[in-house]
Structure 1
Amino acid sequence: MKKQLFVGLIALLLTQCAVAQDNYTQYVNPLIGTKKMGHTYPGATVPFGAVQLSPDTDTLPYSVNGKYNADVYKYCAGYQYDDPTIVGFSHTHFSGTGHSDLGDFLIMPTTGKLQLNPGTAAQPETGYRSRYSHSSEVATPDYYKVKLEDDNIMAELTTTTRVGVHQYTFPKSDEAHIILDLMHGIYNYDDKNVWTFVRVENDTLVTGFRQTNGWARTRIVYFAMTFSKPIASYGFANFKTYPYKGFYKRFDQSNNFPEMAGEQIRAHFDFKTSENEKLLIKFALSPVSTANAIENLRIETPGNDFATIRKQGEQKWNEELSKIKVETLNKDAKANFYTAMYHAFLSPTVYMDNNNQYKGLDQNVHKADGFTNYTTFSLWDTYRALHPLFNLIQTKRNNDMIKSMLAHQEQSVHKMLPVWSHYANENWCMSGYHSVAVIADAIVKGTNTFDANKALDACIQTANVSYYDGLGEYIKRGYVPDDIRPNSVSTTMEYAFDDWSIAQAAKKLGRMDVYNTFLKRSQNWKNVYDASIGYMRPRLSNGSFRKEFDVLSTNGQGFIEGNAWNYSLFVPQDPEGMIAAMGGEKKFIPHLDSLFTMHLPDKFFEETEDITRDGIIGNYVHGNEPSHHVAYLYNFAHQPWKTQERVRMILKKQYKPDVDGLGGNDDCGQMSAWYIFSTLGFYPFAPGSDDYQLGSPAIKKAILQLENGKTFTIDVKNQGDKNVYVSRVLLNGKEFKGTTLKHSTILGGGVLEFVMSSKH
């Protein structure tokens, strides 16, 4: 009997160890990137969730005295680690963007005298904000906890896909309040709030909506909020008065009146609490209606058990994080890797209700038929590595995201695929039409479940909207003239790459007329290359190159988020042609070497407010995406060992498991996707191709769980911090030559073995 008991205990311990090993959330630190310019948020969300429930540490006006307020840039995600106070917890956030919106429906618990102003960071006692300490702060996937010191309230947050769940532990108080601030928002333009509405349905249910005119110009979000105990009393304050006073004379709306509408509203809901009493709030969002928000709430959170909801969120994260199982040299590397996966799986976000309804680009209600509809498409960033990562390990989601893009195109009056879109709006941000690269990547790799020919037609239509951002001139002349459009060179370069991706999809589908047309367009990069100086250069309508020109400057030189140095290397569709144009390998290699070693003048940093010195290596700007393929260019110049050492250097310098551990904006997961690929040892150099370029893996072992049921294992021998060079590669036990790995090879499953060395 004792022997059986002993065996049983051993089995139990082994089972517990196995469960612990499968808890990938323990390696994730959502606070990474919350300091300086990473622009990540630490709050609760499930993978690709429609709700991002997170603390906001401050809110600043977008402009002061009619001028842009540079300090507002810090708050793209609403939270800055060094701030001493928390204003409240809002339900929508972007992760890692360089511009912002959102910050909807801020909730803040308080006690004592009612205050409906947020106060200031210097004097939080003048409002409802509170001091806090990082010593009480806990951030893990789908869970956030912090003590609000001024009111002695413990705040805990978790979510489902469409519901934010708050649990506040109060002290004993006859004056406990929940503040609902509908004025609050990230990037507060003077006229951002168009209209808000709140309706008290009964003593535990509140509904309403918020309409804003921010980055998204016509955005409406509906909500339904429930309390775990009846409201004792409530009231509203409208912080904008109106000329017509007749209605207000007939009704006193300030206390216990069941509805309020206006541009600038804050509401309060009052309770009496006993010592350590927990108040649960469930807050559901909908893009369509309050009725749908109520349905979302009832379907996703039928009970009031905070711990159960939190556990379900953790399980969702473990399911997603387990798609790549890695062994690393140390715990810091594992934290970096799984936090990168966490950040990569935050967006795009689900944008439809449980009944599949969503608000379309045409502002009508649509129903997603057979797919999950997504929004938050930061495509100028994410087409480079994030969507190729999805295409590899989130194949079904990536297909649904593309179907969402195709629905966007159908609803567009321009019949264009999304450029940078969120919440039924096109922001028209950045250059290019990079949806086509995402679509082409799926078609070429054969992973598409959408109608490939119909999707290609949408790509062709998008690439021929002549009035979009100099596109007509580009089609006519082969370049965007600098005297007609700003950022003319980078726009030309981005268009040329997108055209190449369309050509690759057309070739895959046997549509050779389309292939020939767009392959020719993909060579338009040559039209802005000035061979006399060896750089891309702005070109005027008369065909001449602009005379006043500085290859290091980013200010009005024809480029966006880069300079002539950076963009002269942006020809991923034709690296061999680019190297030849620059004088061949003998001239190109020292030129590329100098990118990483040169010293930039101070004026470079003065001109570029969104880049810190921490994010730059020489003139290589890792925080700006046009450089993300550059380290892999050495492969095309027959010096792969330099790709290997550069990749490992970038990994080490730009990614650290600290609050300021990101060398630039994470940009909706693109920076994280670069880390994931490069750590694994290969990178999607040109999305729209079946090829990856090999680099230098920084893990000991990785197992990719593919959606076709197969696994692809990366096994690294003789790994070490100094062993950055690849001396040998084997695929399924056989010698692997060259630096190009096929996507089809990965999908077939197998083992890719790297043997590392300290010498090349």
Structure 2
Amino acid sequence: MYRHLLLTLLLATSFANAQYIDIWTAEEQDFSDYSKSQPSFIPEVFLDARGEYTRFVDPHIGTSGHGHTFPGATLPFGMVQISPDNGVYGWDWCSGYHYSRPDIVYFSHKHLSGTGATDLGDIGMIPYMGKYVFRHTYDHANEYARPGYYAVKLDNGILCEFTVTAHGAIHRYTFPEGSKDKKLRIDLLHDISNHKDEETFFSFIDDKTLGGYKHSNGWAPNQHVYFHMTSSHNMNISKKDRKQAKKTVDIEFKGEGNVVELRVALGSTSVDAAAKNGQHDGIKKGFEQHFETANFLWEKRLSRIQADFPTEEQKITFYTALYHSMIAPALNSDVDGRYTEPDGSITQMPEGLQRYSTFSLWDTYRAAHSLFFFTAPDVIDDFIASMLAHYNFRGQLPIWELESNETFCMIGNHAVPVLAEAYMKRMTSDDLDNVNWDDVLEACDVSSKKDFRGMASYMTRGYVSTEADAESVSKTLEYCYDDHALSLLAKGLGQDDLYYEYFDRSMNYKNLFDPSTGLMRPKNDEGEFIKNFDPFAHDIDGVRHYTEGNAWQYNWHVMHDPKGLVGLYENQEAFEFKLDSLFAIDIHIDEAHKLVDVTGLIGQYAHGNEPSHHITYLYNYTDNPWKGQQRIRETCNTYYRHTPDGLSGNEDCGQMSAWYVFSTMGLYPMDPASGYYEIGSPLVENASLSLPNGNTFSIVAKGQDEENYRVKQVLLNGKPFEGHRISHQQILAGGTLEFIMTN
């Protein structure tokens, strides 16, 4: 709700480019004949160089429906995401692109992946011939995307190809033979969220080089981005344009040949810094060399988990999910570790560390950050340092950080469980030995006591009251989990007083449980449950009590104490019946109470939104875990597909994908800060995890097929495995986890 409300407010503001931009509603499409085609015009080098794992990635998954992903090129956690924009303002265009549109207005250099709010779309560029037109049409049959490479042949005949470096993008435009001219428009006002109060400039350096700057006020209130561009051809820019150009410039390329290459490097602090970033990346190398490097870097990340599935479609879905899980956080500092703060000041990161951005923590703390301990342990120390840098500047850990800004989107203090999990799993990376964990604890403690969003009520009453703040139930439950994570961190660091303080706070969830309904209900200042309670509504009498959900969906948000949650019911059978009811109740919600974020429904279970992601694993705390295994398999097969609309909801910077990656391997970090993974129902036939300590952990599912979703027995290294949780330490030790499947 926060995200959709924010977008509504952004769209209600005045439109700087209103004469160009459409307000558009995406319609459902039929993808029954969708296939990952290979257009005939794609050079063989890009088809032949497909890696063992990158060839199973289709970046178009999630670009339709409400997935909000983009098809363009990027590196793992790279600064640049070069991708096409449709020139549309609307909720389904949060990434700038939606598969339903047959046109492109610009290729821009920064994009969000799967978010529910819009921003970025910086430094828009488009090639053209003759007279400039705003929209350039194309056919999806002439479009191709793979990790580190994107190509599209526009209907005017121009082939546009892109590959990337850590800080830059390489453009290659092939104009039709015999073209009378070769032109390019650069638009610094182009964006995805209708930025306000923009400040821009161009810097014309020589006939083949220019730079520029953009300061904008969007979802990220103070974003600063610089660029440095070199061209393979001389650039003819009129004296009038050179003198007046601050926002848009038109370039005519002079010289022989119909192929124009551009090398665009971005920077955080200056045009010169952008140029140095490009030099560091070796941006002058050939297009094919950069593509091969991009392919290698993606192959290296993806191959850390080697998985086989019953079908190729499932394998494509898996590796695309793994790909999507490593787009954010995104690099935000220059090669020297410097970056621009929201107030324009420059901060230097500690030696050897880089600043990262795009921390969608309400989403990603649940499983995406857990996945990094297997796929990207080498950057976790950078993520920690970035969160501490945010704290040092603002006096509070990030909530939803973007381009060094705090957007204050969503709820909770979810940097806390991410940091606590890193402490609990610090043996995963030698780099984490250099973290000052006392500083981490201080930042978590201070941030968890800020008088902010109902925290004063939470600390005095043991819950956020309805008078104290909106979405009081969700905030109470989210704070409880954060407090649990902080208690683990404090205990590990020998701070017993803090441990007991936050452990007690983590039990506050019990204060909102109503035995008469078996649900978590909002309370007022006097400690009374509010009247006119509707378990299917997120708001009651005009006041929101739940965040992107309702009482049925948030009732289970006690990942840290499932046994305690079960204990609130009359007996285990009553808890199981209530859990069964969640998946069985199908209530029509009237239009006034519908939430666009609540999708992927099975009864009231909403897989399209994060608060539901752990719920199927709660069946492990009943006598019938097979029910959860059934729902896990159903969710994998129903809400993840190899089509552009193959995601049931916003991809959310990797969380929607991380759920699939873990769940198809038969594991899920329901309580990520604890360092344990719940046992589920694997979809893989086998998987091999290359661990950072050099060991290998294998997962094997015997008897795996479409019908056999139940787990009959689990073996660890050939011996019966008791219980339903496996620890991170057990995985790091290496070995084989074997599932015996049955129907």
Same fold (TM over 0.5): yes
Q: Superposition pairs for residues 135-146 of structure 1, below 5 Å?
A: 135-146=141-152
Given candidates 115, 134, 138, the residue that maps to 1:128 is 134
Aligned to 1:195: 199
Give yes or no for contact 1:728–1:756 (8 Å, CA) kept in 2: yes
Aligned to 1:422: 402
Change (3 A) 1:514 1:713: same
Q: Distance in 2 between matches of 1:749 and 1:299?
A: 37
Change (3 A) 1:602 1:492: closer
Change (3 A) 1:300 1:132: same
Pairing 1:715–2:695 present: no
Aligned to 1:46: 75
SS at match of 2:150: strand
Given candidates 620, 623, 638, the residue that maps to 1:638 is 623
Deviations 1:648-703 (A, max 9, x none): 11111110011100000010000000000001101101121021110011001111
SS at match of 1:40: coil
Amino acid at match of 1:387: H
Aligned to 1:120: none
Aligned to 1:301: 282
Given candidates 587, 595, 601, the residue that maps to 2:574 is 587
Amino acid at match of 1:569: W
Amino acid at match of 1:161: A
Aligned to 1:95: 113
SS at match of 2:426: coil
Q: Distance in 2 between matches of 1:570 and 1:256?
A: 58
SS at match of 1:201: strand
Q: Distance in 2 between matches of 1:483 and 1:273?
A: 69
Aligned to 1:248: none
Give yes or no for contact 1:507–1:515 (8 Å, CA) kept in 2: yes
Give yes or no for contact 1:182–1:210 (8 Å, CA) kept in 2: yes
TM-score (ref. length: structure 1): 0.88
Residue 364 of structure 1 and its aligned partner are, at CA, apart by 2.2
Q: Superposition pairs for residues 336-375 of structure 1, below 5 Å?
A: 336-360=317-341, 363-368=344-349, 369-375=351-357
SS at match of 1:303: coil
Pairing 1:401–2:383 present: yes
Q: Which moved more, 1:279-288 or 1:525-534?
A: 525-534
SS at match of 1:77: coil
Give yes or no for contact 2:548–2:598 (8 Å, CA) kept in 1: no
SS at match of 1:510: coil
Give yes or no for contact 1:199–1:260 (8 Å, CA) kept in 2: no
Amino acid at match of 2:159: M
Change (3 A) 1:193 1:105: farther
Amino acid at match of 2:79: A
Residue 357 of structure 1 and its aligned partner are, at CA, apart by 1.3
Residue 440 of structure 1 and its aligned partner are, at CA, apart by 0.7
Q: Distance in 2 between matches of 1:22 and 1:312?
A: 12
Given candidates 220, 229, 236, the residue that maps to 2:224 is 220
Amino acid at match of 1:472: A
SS at match of 1:721: coil
Give yes or no for contact 1:715–1:752 (8 Å, CA) kept in 2: yes
Residue 174 of structure 1 and its aligned partner are, at CA, apart by 3.2
Change (3 A) 1:392 1:321: closer
Q: Distance in 2 between matches of 1:36 and 1:83?
A: 12
Aligned to 2:211: 207
SS at match of 2:181: strand
Pairing 1:520–2:504 present: yes
Q: Distance in 2 between matches of 1:142 and 1:350?
A: 16
Change (3 A) 1:152 1:272: farther
Residue 583 of structure 1 and its aligned partner are, at CA, apart by 2.3
Q: Distance in 1 between matches of 2:127 and 2:231?
A: 13
Amino acid at match of 2:559: P
Q: Which moved more, 1:316-325 or 1:192-201?
A: 192-201
Amino acid at match of 1:218: N
Unaligned runs of 5+ residues in structure 1 are: 1-18, 61-71, 116-126, 236-252
Aligned to 1:234: 237
Give yes or no for contact 1:107–1:180 (8 Å, CA) kept in 2: yes
Unaligned runs of 5+ residues in structure 2 are: 1-47
Deviations 1:584-636 (A, max 9, x none): 21111121112112212141685213344xx2111110111011100000001
SS at match of 2:100: coil
Give yes or no for contact 2:340–2:346 (8 Å, CA) kept in 1: yes
Residue 82 of structure 1 and its aligned partner are, at CA, apart by 1.1
Pairing 1:444–2:424 present: yes
Residue 302 of structure 1 and its aligned partner are, at CA, apart by 4.1
Residue 268 of structure 1 and its aligned partner are, at CA, apart by 0.7
Aligned to 1:104: 122
Give yes or no for contact 1:169–1:278 (8 Å, CA) kept in 2: yes
Q: Which moved more, 1:532-541 or 1:644-653?
A: 532-541
Amino acid at match of 1:463: S
Q: Which moved more, 1:171-180 or 1:725-734?
A: 171-180
SS at match of 2:587: coil
Aligned to 1:28: 57
Residue 518 of structure 1 and its aligned partner are, at CA, apart by 0.2
Aligned to 1:176: 182
CA RMSD of aligned residues (A): 1.6
Aligned to 1:483: 467
Deviations 1:289-332 (A, max 9, x none): 11100111222134251111111100100000000001111100
Deviations 1:409-444 (A, max 9, x none): 1121xx211110011201111110000000111112
Give yes or no for contact 1:359–1:366 (8 Å, CA) kept in 2: yes
| Larger Rg belongs to | 1
Aligned to 1:600: 587
Aligned to 1:119: none
Q: Distance in 2 between matches of 1:633 and 1:292?
A: 50
Give yes or no for contact 1:716–1:753 (8 Å, CA) kept in 2: yes
Amino acid at match of 2:240: S
Given candidates 319, 326, 329, the residue that maps to 2:307 is 326
Q: Distance in 1 between matches of 2:420 and 2:608?
A: 25
Give yes or no for contact 1:280–1:304 (8 Å, CA) kept in 2: no
Q: Which moved more, 1:581-590 or 1:510-519?
A: 581-590
Deviations 1:73-119 (A, max 9, x none): 01100001010111110000000001121000110000012x3xxxx
Given candidates 92, 96, 100, the residue that maps to 1:74 is 92
Residue 458 of structure 1 and its aligned partner are, at CA, apart by 1.1
Amino acid at match of 1:702: A
